Amino acid sequence: MGAGAKDAKTKPRSGRETVRSAALVILAVLIVAFAVANLGQVQVDWIVGSGRAPLIVVIAISLLVGIVLTHFAGRYTRRRR
């Protein structure tokens, strides 16, 4: 078998999987474009103190926190069922 041959166990993607993948790529591109368009410095107030940070960093941290919280919330609700 050559390197380009398909494995017998792999199945082709369904239309739903393709649409989901495309939507995720589009969402990722929009997030990156939004973050890059917001490169200015902003004042960030922490629980203890404050400081200045690039807005792109604030957006990235907020996105990561949202992903982590969504992940754990999903695991929690699946476990309760």
Q: pTM of the full predicted structure? A: 0.53
**pLDDT confidence tier of residue 6, bands split at 50, 70 and 90:** low
What integer pLDDT is reported at residue 36 of this predicted model? 82
Residue 38, amino acid:
N
Over residues 33-53, mean pLDDT: 88
Domain borders along the chain are 40-81
Residue 30, amino acid:
L
Integer Cα distance of 51 and 54 in angstroms? 10
pLDDT beyond 70 at 1: no
What integer pLDDT is reported at residue 5 of this predicted model? 54
**Could you tell me the end-to-end alpha-carbon distance of the chain, in angstroms, rounded to an integer?**
45
